[in-house]
Amino acid sequence: MMPDVQDLLVEIGTEELPPKALQTLSNAFTSGIVDGLKKASLKADEVISYAAPRRLAVLLKGIPVKQENQSVERKGPAKKAAFDADGNPTKAVEGFARSCGVTPQQLEEIETPKGIWLVFRQEVPGKQTAALVPDIINQSLAKLPIPKRMRWGASDIEFVRPVHWIVMMLGNNVIPGKILGVSSGNTTLGHRFHHPEPIEIKQASDYVNVLRETGQVVASFSERREEVRKQAEASAKALGGNAQIDEDLLNEVTALIELPIAISGNFDKSYLEIPQECLISSMQDHQKYFPVVDDKGELLAHFITISNIKSSNPDTVREGNERVISPRFSDAKFFWEQDCKVKLESRRDATNKIIFQQKLGTLFEKTERVAQLAEAIAEQSGLDQQQARRAAELSKCDLGSEMVNEFPELQGIMGRYYALRDGEPEGVANALQEQYQPGFAGDVIPAGDIGKVLSLADKLDTLMGIFAIGMKPTGSKDPFSLRRSALGVLRIMIEGDMDLDLKALLEVSANSLADKVDAAKSIDETFDYIMERLRAYYQDQGIEAETVEAVASLRPSRPLDFDHRVKAVAAFKALPEAESLAAANKRISNILKKVEGDIPVSVDASLFIEPQETALYNAIQKKQQKVAPLFAKGEYSEALSSLATLRDEVDAFFDGVMVMADDEKLKNNRLALLAQLRNLFLNIADLSRL
């Protein structure tokens, strides 16, 4: 008797897939199959993806071999519309019954709140899983994120790479069908060199072991990646160093090989006189090598390469890799020596020939604007304005160097080296590299003060300029990385402890753009766009949206101050008095919203009738004196903690006092008292939003 569940194996065998897209293709392929099976009411106990240079595969363990029978119910017309006065079926019910393949008399009745309706019920037998799988696979393949599909041979079929074999198995049975023009079977191919012959798979669950033991292929991407990592680390350790493993490179190398074999290599120590970033870039980007560094992170004259072949003569492979890297390093040495023949500053005029953006001018003009803004930021921060301007003037000069022309990813890094060689102050030189930080999610902010200033100025000029010419991000399109720049601005101000007025800096930036575009009209929009990034910033920290909204509603213009307020409100919410005071603030807000005309501002203590009025008034006066200096120093947590002790007087006031009294004077006096109370909290946040 056939079991109720089996393992389902699907493998698409191809020419070598694009390495940088392999994981994306694998994830999408698996998701498409899982979604298709889910729609068919079929669910596996476990789903395992496999991805290697010449294959995308999925193993679904414990999947039902057949759908369960399904009850189908179709609602027809109401009974009163289904039959005429003589009890004969109407055309409406005849048409409905015909579409269901039955007679009107075979329809059932159901009671509903709107009366009796006719329904058709049917038990539909479930389909065999094997019959459903080919269509599900084809639909998944059709939806893969492939920018450019290719054809091969005389066929019109298109895919990312030519397809050579298809495996579709349920348990030990082949699922017949055609995928991308290729008939399915239970035969796969092993390693292109070590086992190119066909391999029969007898059971779907045998797939990964058969490929590894017979085919010499590690099918699992994650297992292969960890093998690469371990072998690289072990090889580096044997050389007396540590493998420097970039995760993107690790993924790319993993996607290039079926069977990882680490081989170490060496290069001439004289190349270590070149900035190590140049050598590392060449090794990683051009050769896909892992550099070897010492415990201090300094480059050693070794590298690790991952071969896809078990060579009988690994020394020959090593020598070949060493021969390949030598000309690359010779080029880097030549570029370095050529660049060092002139001062970095001498390349500044050349930036006048590089367009930053058509409407915003050249890079030279941008650096002039950035210099003005950097001086303003330095002035606000009490930092060296002259160094801030100098860093801005030199900030893009390395773009004209031979080294950056060859390795664009070294912009800023090379600027720092050239500036140090020219005798520029260390803070200025470091800023040339730090201007691009933070460059990606999780990246560090600049460590140096001048670096923070330059990074802020550069990002704010870009944000202000692009918004001013009407090219703000829309949807997923963000060609100038404004979202990243906006978050970078906020992180530098908050995490870098820079108490700067963002609105004021945008005004300076807008003024510097005046000869290019009327940027003043875009200041508010740019400000709002930047501050909006704070919602996601605090969400990542686990701070609730309502806490951020309580502060954002007051529109503080200093991000660091905004941060202090948010942290204070978050701490306040943990206090036992918080819920009551938040409710009171909401109640006060609602009362004051209904007041027509201006809200009274002055309180006349002689008009108090109830003792609760006097108690609340006296408590507010004392608190105002205590928290005013705390507000001035931005010590919001302490201020809110102090204000929290007003809860008893506030609760007593609402329990014993009718605010909207018939007597106009009493009412206005009580409204003024509530406004005073609310304004105390509004020095920090609008607690009515909590």
Last residue of a domain, one of 179, 213, 247: 213
Residue 557 lies in a domain: no
Same domain, 317 and 355: no
Tell me: pLDDT of 1 over 50: no
Predicted pLDDT of residue 663: 87
Residues 272 and 418 in one domain: no
Instruction: Give, for 187, the enclosing helix (H) or strand (E).
Output: strand 187-189
- H or E element, residue 290: strand 290-293
Task: Judge whether 571 lies within some domain.
Answer: no
For residues 443 and 598, what is the distance between their CA atoms, to the nearest angstrom?
50
Domain termination site, one of 288, 312, 339: 339
Q: Could you tell me the pLDDT band of residue 84, with boundaries at 50, 70 and 90?
A: confident
* Residues 580 and 667 grouped into a single domain: yes
- Are 255 and 350 in the same domain? no
- At 690 the pLDDT is 86
Mean pLDDT for 537-552 is 95
Tell whether 559 is covered by a domain. Answer: no
Same domain, 117 and 137: no
Cβ neighbours of 138 (radius 10 Å): 16
627 in the same domain as 599: yes
- Does 462 fall in a domain? yes
Q: Is residue 604 part of a domain?
A: yes
Q: Is 554 inside a domain boundary? A: no
3-state DSSP: the chain helix, strand, coil percent, rounded to 5? 55, 15, 30
Given 339, 373, 393, the domain boundary residue is: 339
With cut-offs at 50, 70 and 90, classify the pLDDT of residue 83. Answer: confident
Write the CATH number for 141.
3.30.70.260
The mean per-residue pLDDT over the stretch 529-542 comes to 95
Domain assignment present for residue 562? The answer is: no
Residue 411 structural domain: 346-542
The pTM of this model reads: 0.80
Asked if 137 and 232 sit in the same domain, the reply is no
* Distance, CA of 690 to CA of 14 (rounded, Å): 57
Domain total of the chain = 5
Type of residue found at 663: D
Asked if the structure places residue 555 within a domain, the reply is no
Amino acid at the residue 31: S
Across residues 4-12, what is the average pLDDT? Answer: 95
Q: 3 falls in which pLDDT band (50, 70, 90)?
A: low
Pairing outcome for strands 261-266 and 290-293: unpaired
Instruction: Please tell me whether residues 311 and 262 are part of one structural domain.
Output: yes
Q: How confident is the model at residue 522 (pLDDT cuts 50, 70, 90)?
A: very high
- Is residue 189 a contact partner of residue 54, using CB atoms and an 8 Å limit? yes
Tell me, what CATH number does 402's domain have?
1.10.3210
Domain match, 57 and 202 both: yes
**Residue 420: per-residue pLDDT:** 97
95 burial level (CB within 10 Å; 0-12, 13-18, 19+): middle
Would you list the DSSP string of 587-636? HHHHHHHT--SPPP----GGG--SHHHHHHHHHHHHHHHHHHHHHHTT-H
Do 357 and 292 sit in the same domain of this protein? no
With 80 as the cut, is the pLDDT of residue 71 above it?
no
List the one residue out of 443, 437, 447, 444 whose CA is nearest residue 395.
437
96 in the same domain as 23: no
Q: CATH number for the domain including 654?
A: 1.10.730.10
**Residues 281, 144 share a domain:** no
